[in-house]
Amino acid sequence: DTAVSQTPKYLVTQMGNDKSIKCEQNLGHDTMYWYKQDSKKFLKIMFSYNNKELIINETVPNRFSPKSPDKAHLNLHINSLELGDSAVYFCASSVPIGDTQYFGPGTRLTVL
Amino acid sequence: SQQGEEDPQALSIQEGENATMNCSYKTSINNLQWYRQNSGRGLVHLILIRSNEREKHSGRLRVTLDTSKKSSSLLITASRAADTASYFCATVLLGGGADGLTFGKGTHLIIQP
Protein backbone atom coordinates (compact mmCIF):
# COMPACT_ATOMS: atom_id res chain seq x y z
CA ASP A 1 0.00 0.00 0.00
CA THR A 2 3.05 2.27 0.18
CA ALA A 3 2.46 5.23 -2.11
CA VAL A 4 6.10 5.99 -2.96
CA SER A 5 8.70 3.36 -2.28
CA GLN A 6 12.46 3.37 -2.63
CA THR A 7 15.05 0.63 -2.55
CA PRO A 8 17.43 0.18 -0.96
CA LYS A 9 16.88 2.00 2.32
CA TYR A 10 20.61 1.98 3.05
CA LEU A 11 23.47 1.82 0.57
CA VAL A 12 27.12 1.67 1.60
CA THR A 13 29.68 1.57 -1.17
CA GLN A 14 33.23 2.43 -2.11
CA MET A 15 34.35 5.54 -3.95
CA GLY A 16 34.42 5.05 -7.70
CA ASN A 17 31.61 2.50 -7.81
CA ASP A 18 28.41 2.85 -9.83
CA LYS A 19 25.09 2.40 -8.02
CA SER A 20 21.37 2.74 -8.62
CA ILE A 21 18.46 3.66 -6.39
CA LYS A 22 15.00 2.56 -7.43
CA CYS A 23 11.78 4.49 -6.96
CA GLU A 24 8.23 3.42 -7.62
CA GLN A 25 4.94 5.23 -7.07
CA ASN A 26 1.50 3.64 -7.20
CA LEU A 27 -0.42 6.92 -7.13
CA GLY A 28 -0.79 7.30 -10.87
CA HIS A 29 1.09 10.59 -10.77
CA ASP A 30 2.58 12.06 -13.92
CA THR A 31 5.52 13.83 -12.33
CA MET A 32 8.36 12.36 -10.30
CA TYR A 33 11.32 14.01 -8.61
CA TRP A 34 14.62 13.26 -6.94
CA TYR A 35 15.89 15.32 -4.00
CA LYS A 36 19.15 15.22 -2.07
CA GLN A 37 19.27 15.95 1.67
CA ASP A 38 22.74 16.70 2.98
CA SER A 39 24.19 16.22 6.44
CA LYS A 40 22.75 19.57 7.55
CA LYS A 41 19.30 18.40 6.47
CA PHE A 42 19.14 20.82 3.57
CA LEU A 43 16.95 19.48 0.76
CA LYS A 44 17.67 20.29 -2.85
CA ILE A 45 15.87 19.31 -6.03
CA MET A 46 17.96 17.25 -8.41
CA PHE A 47 15.57 16.24 -11.18
CA SER A 48 11.95 16.40 -12.16
CA TYR A 49 10.46 14.14 -14.81
CA ASN A 50 7.09 14.80 -16.40
CA ASN A 51 5.71 13.15 -19.51
CA LYS A 52 9.17 12.12 -20.68
CA GLU A 53 10.46 15.65 -20.15
CA LEU A 54 13.45 15.79 -17.84
CA ILE A 55 14.39 18.95 -16.00
CA ILE A 56 17.82 18.90 -14.42
CA ASN A 57 19.02 21.19 -11.67
CA GLU A 58 22.10 22.83 -13.11
CA THR A 59 24.17 22.05 -10.03
CA VAL A 60 23.78 18.28 -10.38
CA PRO A 61 26.91 16.57 -11.75
CA ASN A 62 26.42 14.59 -14.94
CA ARG A 63 27.48 11.48 -13.02
CA PHE A 64 23.86 11.42 -11.87
CA SER A 65 21.27 10.23 -14.36
CA PRO A 66 17.59 9.47 -13.83
CA LYS A 67 16.03 6.67 -15.81
CA SER A 68 12.30 6.15 -16.21
CA PRO A 69 11.26 2.77 -17.64
CA ASP A 70 7.59 3.75 -17.24
CA LYS A 71 5.40 6.40 -15.63
CA ALA A 72 5.46 4.69 -12.23
CA HIS A 73 9.24 4.45 -11.92
CA LEU A 74 12.09 6.93 -11.78
CA ASN A 75 15.39 5.34 -10.89
CA LEU A 76 18.55 7.24 -10.02
CA HIS A 77 21.85 6.00 -11.38
CA ILE A 78 25.11 7.38 -10.07
CA ASN A 79 28.46 6.80 -11.76
CA SER A 80 31.90 7.07 -10.19
CA LEU A 81 30.66 7.74 -6.68
CA GLU A 82 32.48 10.39 -4.65
CA LEU A 83 32.66 11.02 -0.91
CA GLY A 84 30.53 14.13 -1.33
CA ASP A 85 27.67 12.07 -2.73
CA SER A 86 27.00 10.72 0.76
CA ALA A 87 23.52 11.96 1.64
CA VAL A 88 19.92 10.87 1.90
CA TYR A 89 18.14 10.74 -1.46
CA PHE A 90 14.38 11.14 -1.64
CA CYS A 91 12.07 10.31 -4.47
CA ALA A 92 8.72 12.09 -4.73
CA SER A 93 5.74 12.32 -7.04
CA SER A 94 2.91 14.78 -7.61
CA VAL A 95 -0.14 15.54 -9.64
CA PRO A 96 -0.68 18.03 -10.99
CA ILE A 97 2.83 19.23 -11.52
CA GLY A 98 3.84 21.76 -8.86
CA ASP A 99 1.24 20.57 -6.39
CA THR A 100 1.47 18.49 -3.21
CA GLN A 101 4.35 16.06 -3.36
CA TYR A 102 4.42 12.59 -1.84
CA PHE A 103 7.82 11.49 -0.67
CA GLY A 104 9.41 8.10 -0.39
CA PRO A 105 11.13 7.02 2.82
CA GLY A 106 14.58 7.94 1.54
CA THR A 107 17.79 6.09 0.74
CA ARG A 108 20.80 6.80 2.91
CA LEU A 109 23.88 6.59 0.71
CA THR A 110 27.29 6.34 2.37
CA VAL A 111 30.38 6.48 0.19
CA LEU A 112 33.56 5.23 1.84
CA SER B 1 19.84 28.98 -4.85
CA GLN B 2 17.99 28.67 -1.59
CA GLN B 3 14.54 30.19 -1.65
CA GLY B 4 13.13 29.79 1.82
CA GLU B 5 14.51 30.62 5.22
CA GLU B 6 12.81 29.29 8.32
CA ASP B 7 12.89 31.03 11.62
CA PRO B 8 13.70 29.93 14.25
CA GLN B 9 16.15 27.17 13.37
CA ALA B 10 15.22 25.36 16.56
CA LEU B 11 12.31 25.69 18.96
CA SER B 12 11.69 23.92 22.25
CA ILE B 13 8.35 24.31 24.03
CA GLN B 14 6.22 22.55 26.62
CA GLU B 15 3.48 20.16 25.60
CA GLY B 16 0.21 21.99 25.25
CA GLU B 17 1.77 25.28 24.19
CA ASN B 18 1.48 26.71 20.70
CA ALA B 19 4.41 26.61 18.28
CA THR B 20 4.94 29.20 15.57
CA MET B 21 7.43 28.87 12.76
CA ASN B 22 8.12 31.46 10.09
CA CYS B 23 9.34 31.19 6.55
CA SER B 24 10.57 33.88 4.19
CA TYR B 25 11.22 33.53 0.49
CA LYS B 26 12.75 35.64 -2.24
CA THR B 27 10.87 35.37 -5.53
CA SER B 28 7.27 35.20 -6.71
CA ILE B 29 5.60 31.90 -6.03
CA ASN B 30 2.77 29.74 -7.32
CA ASN B 31 2.25 28.11 -3.93
CA LEU B 32 3.97 27.46 -0.64
CA GLN B 33 3.90 24.12 1.16
CA TRP B 34 4.79 22.95 4.64
CA TYR B 35 6.26 19.52 5.29
CA ARG B 36 7.15 17.61 8.44
CA GLN B 37 10.08 15.23 8.75
CA ASN B 38 10.43 12.95 11.72
CA SER B 39 13.96 11.85 12.53
CA GLY B 40 15.27 9.39 9.96
CA ARG B 41 12.04 9.40 7.98
CA GLY B 42 10.64 10.85 4.77
CA LEU B 43 8.75 14.10 4.41
CA VAL B 44 5.05 14.31 5.05
CA HIS B 45 2.96 17.01 3.42
CA LEU B 46 1.03 19.20 5.87
CA ILE B 47 -0.56 22.10 4.02
CA LEU B 48 -0.38 23.79 0.62
CA ILE B 49 -1.36 27.46 0.36
CA ARG B 50 -1.66 29.14 -3.01
CA SER B 51 -0.42 32.63 -3.80
CA ASN B 52 -3.96 34.02 -3.88
CA GLU B 53 -4.80 32.62 -0.44
CA ARG B 54 -4.02 34.28 2.88
CA GLU B 55 -4.83 31.65 5.46
CA LYS B 56 -5.50 27.94 5.64
CA HIS B 57 -6.38 25.54 8.44
CA SER B 58 -5.99 21.81 8.87
CA GLY B 59 -6.80 20.38 12.26
CA ARG B 60 -4.39 21.97 14.76
CA LEU B 61 -2.39 23.60 11.97
CA ARG B 62 -2.85 27.14 10.71
CA VAL B 63 -0.81 28.57 7.87
CA THR B 64 -0.74 32.19 6.77
CA LEU B 65 0.78 33.69 3.66
CA ASP B 66 1.74 37.30 3.09
CA THR B 67 2.90 37.68 -0.50
CA SER B 68 3.70 41.37 -0.04
CA LYS B 69 6.25 40.45 2.63
CA LYS B 70 7.15 37.16 0.96
CA SER B 71 6.58 35.31 4.19
CA SER B 72 4.51 32.50 5.68
CA SER B 73 3.93 31.17 9.16
CA LEU B 74 2.93 27.78 10.49
CA LEU B 75 1.12 27.66 13.82
CA ILE B 76 0.67 24.37 15.65
CA THR B 77 -1.81 24.74 18.48
CA ALA B 78 -1.96 22.60 21.62
CA SER B 79 1.31 20.88 20.79
CA ARG B 80 1.89 17.21 21.55
CA ALA B 81 5.05 15.18 22.04
CA ALA B 82 4.36 13.53 18.67
CA ASP B 83 4.75 16.93 16.98
CA THR B 84 8.48 16.75 17.65
CA ALA B 85 10.02 16.87 14.19
CA SER B 86 11.67 19.14 11.65
CA TYR B 87 9.35 21.40 9.72
CA PHE B 88 10.19 22.69 6.27
CA CYS B 89 8.59 25.28 4.10
CA ALA B 90 8.93 24.81 0.37
CA THR B 91 7.94 26.98 -2.54
CA VAL B 92 6.88 26.33 -6.09
CA LEU B 93 8.04 29.28 -8.13
CA LEU B 94 5.65 31.14 -10.38
CA GLY B 95 5.73 29.28 -13.68
CA GLY B 96 8.18 26.81 -12.23
CA GLY B 97 6.01 23.85 -11.35
CA ALA B 98 8.25 21.50 -13.25
CA ASP B 99 11.25 22.69 -11.28
CA GLY B 100 10.15 20.98 -8.11
CA LEU B 101 10.11 22.36 -4.60
CA THR B 102 12.65 24.82 -3.26
CA PHE B 103 13.11 24.11 0.43
CA GLY B 104 14.15 26.24 3.36
CA LYS B 105 16.58 25.03 5.99
CA GLY B 106 13.86 23.89 8.36
CA THR B 107 12.87 24.44 11.97
CA HIS B 108 13.62 21.68 14.44
CA LEU B 109 10.73 21.57 16.92
CA ILE B 110 11.04 19.79 20.25
CA ILE B 111 7.96 19.33 22.42
CA GLN B 112 8.88 18.72 26.04
CA PRO B 113 6.43 16.40 27.85
Higher pLDDT residue, A51 or B52?
A: B52
Mutate to test the interface with A, among B35, B101, B105 (most CBs of A within 10 A): B101
Collect the ranges in chain A with pLDDT lower than 50: none
Which positions in chain B touch A103 (Cβ < 8 Å)?
35, 42-45
Mean pLDDT of chain B: 92
* Residue pair A85/A76 in contact by the 8 Å Cβ criterion: no
Confidence of residue B4 (pLDDT cuts 50, 70, 90): low
**B99–A45: do the CB atoms touch at under 8 Å?**
yes
Tens of pLDDT, residues B56-102: 999 999 999 999 999 999 999 999 999 999 999 999 987 776 778 89
Minimal C-alpha gap between B64 and chain A (Å): 17
Say whether pLDDT at B2 is over 60: no
| Amino acid found at B55 | E
- State the count of interchain CB pairs (< 8 A) between A and B: 70
Confidence class of residue B1 from pLDDT cuts 50, 70 and 90?
very low
Q: What does each C-alpha distance from A42 to A35, B14, B66, B67, B104 come to in angstroms?
A: 10, 26, 24, 24, 7
Q: What is the pLDDT of residue A1?
A: 62
**How wide is the angle at C-alpha A94 spanned by C-alphas A56 and A57, nearest 5°?**
10
User: Are A103 and B100 in contact (CB < 8 Å)?
Assistant: no
CA distance B101 to chain A (A): 7
Interchain CB contact of B50 with A (< 8 Å): no
Nearest-5° Cα angle at B21, B17 to B26: 170
* Strands (E) located in A69-106: 75-78, 87-94, 101-103
Distance from CA of B76 to the nearest CA of A (A): 20
